[in-house]
Amino acid sequence: MDIQKLLGYAVESFASDVHLNANSHPVLRINGELKILGDEELLTPEILQGLFDSISKERQKQALQVKKQVDFAYVIPGVSRFRVNTLIQRGALSFAFRVIANSVAPLSSIGLPEIYAEITEAPKGLILITGPTGSGKSTTLAAMVNHINENDSRHIITVEDPIEYVHPNKKSIILQLEVGKDTDSFGQALWNTLRHDPDVLVIGEMRDIETISAAITAAETGHLVMGTLHTNDATQTIDRIVDVFPNGQQAQMRVQLSQVLVGVFSQVLLPCIRGGRVPACEIMIANSAVRNSIREGKTQYLQNAMQLGIKEKMQTLNQALAKLVVEKQVSVQHALHSSVDKEQLMNLIGLKELIQKPEYV
């Protein structure tokens, strides 16, 4: 198959992902919806194996044999970069190509509140970007790094698996490490880079106790640390970090986290009425109420702290969704689909009676 032609078409179609599976036609994800390319040839296990052999390197082939899945970057010059995940299902290879833009979009152009730019001015501490898969975490994190790069003089080190957006030096110096190629793990890279005089450390994904411990230590020692987690909201993010540690360490971890946390930004992407997708952002800034709730293990109060934190530019996901509906950027149905408290959302919109209608539930 002509993978470069197919991926080029995906970029032209503004697809976010390309899926290739055995005994199936290629599939694009556009604005969150799947589109089957029925005119393309049916993919066979042999075609997919040949594709993997042509675009992967020896270390990626070895990783697939050992782990049965592998992540790596694929570049088509003049077209785009792609993050590739390859795994084995029913004995055949399966591919998911995520389209990565050639350049990093400015924060102001991707629909994020101003606080995203303002928070990057923090001299130290921990900033977390969270959300489900496909919610734009990588794009947001790259835009925040780019904002620092364009506006401040700092030494930035990123640790990614794989490297997605490539950052040229502007006002800052940026080093980018790829797990599996430049370092063995996120945690090991963080401990090692602390000796490399960084001002800002960027973690592609905080997925284990080693990485989280290193991130918190780095934040405690005067560095600004930014990272992503696969969690749905700010409350779940705090609980997930604490729960990674053994029971005997959790109380101390809550204290440390309450001291270093700068903010948690949780986001989802929704179809926009005018076309494309728009982010809805839950924003939690670590003020005294938030720090006390974390330290005392009372994360059930974090939602209330966000609702009351308007002066600090905080907002809950429901507040963000209600604003998008009122501004006629997203439909009520799509907002309800992303809400975990539909009745509260309808109250915020002022349409509580609609919650009784089956099509909105």
In the numeric block, which tokens belong to residue 306?
Answer: 């966000």
Q: Are residues 139 and 286 in the same domain?
A: yes
pLDDT at 177 exceeding the cut of 70: yes
Q: Are residues 111 and 96 in the same domain?
A: no
What is the rounded end-to-end Cα distance, in angstroms, of the chain? 43
In the listed set 74, 100, 126, which residue is the last one of a domain according to the structure? 100
Q: What is the pTM of this model?
A: 0.88
In a domain, 361, yes or no: no
In the numeric block, which tokens belong to residue 199?
Answer: 């001002």
In the listed set 55, 73, 100, which residue is the last one of a domain according to the structure? 100
The percentage of the chain sitting over the pLDDT mark of 90, rounded to a whole number, equals: 86
Cα gap 83→17, rounded to integer Å: 9
In a domain, 286, yes or no: yes
Please list, in sequence order, all residues whose beta carbon lies within 8 angstroms of the beta carbon of residue 263, skipping any fewer than 6 positions away: 115, 119, 127, 128, 283, 284, 285, 286
Domain of residue 206, residue span: 107-355
pLDDT at 102 exceeding the cut of 90: no
Classify 297 as helix, strand or coil: coil
Q: Other CB atoms closer than 10 Å to residue 74's CB: what's the count?
A: 18
Q: Look at residue 172 in the predicted model and tell me its pLDDT.
A: 98
How many folded domains does the chain comprise? 2
In a domain, 164, yes or no: yes
In a domain, 273, yes or no: yes
DSSP structural state of residue 202: E
- Of 217, 179, 182, 180, which is closest to residue 198 (Cα–Cα)? 217
CA dihedral for 307, 313, 319, 322, sign (positive or negative)? positive
Q: What is the mean pLDDT of the chain?
A: 93
In the listed set 100, 133, 154, which residue is the last one of a domain according to the structure? 100
Please list, in sequence order, all residues whose beta carbon lies within 8 angstroms of the beta carbon of residue 339, skipping any fewer than 6 positions away: 317, 318, 321, 345
Q: Look at residue 146 in the predicted model and tell me its pLDDT.
A: 97
In a domain, 339, yes or no: yes
Q: Are residues 111 and 162 in the same domain?
A: yes
Instruction: Give me the sheet containing 277-285, strands edge to edge.
Output: 173-178, 155-160, 200-203, 224-229, 125-130, 261-271, 277-285
Q: Are residues 188 and 218 in the same domain?
A: yes
Torsion of CA 343, 349, 350, 351, to 10 degrees: -60
Q: Are residues 191 and 323 in the same domain?
A: yes
Task: Quickly state the pLDDT bin for 360 (edges 50, 70, 90).
Answer: very low
Cα gap 13→5, rounded to integer Å: 12
Rounded (5°) CA angle 312-316-319: 100
In a domain, 160, yes or no: yes
Q: Are residues 232 and 342 in the same domain?
A: yes
* Whether the bond into 162 is cis, omega within 30 of 0: yes
- State residue 115 phi and psi, 5-degree precision: -60, -25
More confident residue, 288 or 276: 288
Cα gap 340→44, rounded to integer Å: 40
Q: Other CB atoms closer than 10 Å to residue 151's CB: what's the count?
A: 14
Q: Are residues 91 and 208 in the same domain?
A: no
In a domain, 270, yes or no: yes
Domain CATH number, residue 61: 3.30.450.90
The percentage of the chain sitting over the pLDDT mark of 70, rounded to a whole number, equals: 97
Cα gap 314→46, rounded to integer Å: 52
Q: Look at residue 361 in the predicted model and tell me its pLDDT.
A: 42
Q: Are residues 16 and 157 in the same domain?
A: no
Q: Look at residue 359 in the predicted model and tell me its pLDDT.
A: 47
Section 81-108 average pLDDT: 93
Cα gap 307→331, rounded to integer Å: 23
Q: Are residues 49 and 77 in the same domain?
A: yes
Task: Quickly state the pLDDT bin for 352 (edges 50, 70, 90).
Answer: low
Pairing verdict, β 27-30 and 17-20: antiparallel
Cα gap 291→285, rounded to integer Å: 9
pLDDT digits (tens, 9 = 90+) for 202-255: 999 998 999 999 999 999 999 999 999 999 999 999 999 999 999 999 999 999
For residues 196 and 158, the answer to whether their CB atoms sit within 8 Å is no
pLDDT digits (tens, 9 = 90+) for 2-59: 999 999 999 999 999 999 999 999 999 998 899 999 999 999 999 999 999 999 999 9
Q: Are residues 111 and 95 in the same domain?
A: no
In a domain, 360, yes or no: no
pLDDT at 353 exceeding the cut of 60: no
Domain CATH number, residue 309: 3.40.50.300
Task: Quickly state the pLDDT bin for 108 (edges 50, 70, 90).
Answer: confident
Q: Are residues 270 and 325 in the same domain?
A: yes
Q: Are residues 75 and 122 in the same domain?
A: no
pLDDT at 120 exceeding the cut of 70: yes
Q: Look at residue 354 in the predicted model and tell me its pLDDT.
A: 52
Section 169-178 average pLDDT: 97
